[in-house]
Amino acid sequence: MYNFLKKNNLQIFKFGVSGVIASYINYLVYISFYFISNNLVFASLCGYLIGILVSFILAKIWVFRNRLKQPIVKSFYLFCLIYLLGGIEMSLIIIVLNQLINNHKIAWLFGAFIGALNNYLGSKYITFRK
């Protein structure tokens, strides 16, 4: 585990930074569309979709520097599937852990860690493998 972290520390750091950037853009789009439309569902969906797109672009060109000839649509499809799985894992862990320890904040931290781990490893070894 130590060797993996040492070997990939810059890539892991970039993955975290790109996640923060994508989340910030997601929020800006959400706020903008909510201000324009006053529709919470529409604004949330727009923010999430743009956030996923930004996350994909940053992962492809900055985090993993992926230059495979794999069609972009296939890469994006795999990316979305991995992130969907990460979201499901995160949600399940939060629900189960909160039932066990009765602390939603700690449950969220563990769930977020597992979701992020899933997203990083899935992106590295499935979507953007070299």
Model pLDDT for residues 37-74, shown as the tens digit of each residue: 999 999 999 999 999 999 999 999 999 988 777 889 99
- The yes-or-no verdict on residue 102 having pLDDT over 80 is yes
Q: When comparing pLDDT for 38 and 1, which is higher?
A: 38
User: How high is the pLDDT of residue 38?
Assistant: 93
Token output for 110: 């563990």
User: How high is the pLDDT of residue 57?
Assistant: 95
39: left (phi over 0), alpha (psi -120 to 50) or beta: beta
pTM: 0.87
Question: What is the rounded average pLDDT for all residues in the chain?
Answer: 93
